[in-house]
Amino acid sequence: MTFGARLAIAITFIVVGVAALTIILTLEIDGGAPQWLHWISWIGGGLFAAGIGNLVNAFRLRNVPRVDRQE
């Protein structure tokens, strides 16, 4: 997978995760979100963490030379 693809996936995960967490925070401040809606905060946190992990991994693997096997 190319660096650009890894970067796009990481940024997408981060944006979706932050959006989910922002929606839950806004609903909670405005008067309380329903109890069943709080699972979205777990999903948003997980997506945010996965995005950060993918972002770090993309930058770490950017400069690694590709090894081609010759058999």
SS3 68: coil
What is the per-residue pLDDT across 13-23, written as a single tens digit (0 to 9) for each?
999 999 988 88
Domain chopping of the chain, boundaries? 3-61
What is the per-residue pLDDT across 33-43, written as a single tens digit (0 to 9) for each?
777 777 888 88
Structure tokens at 14: 């981060």
Structure tokens at 36: 């069943």
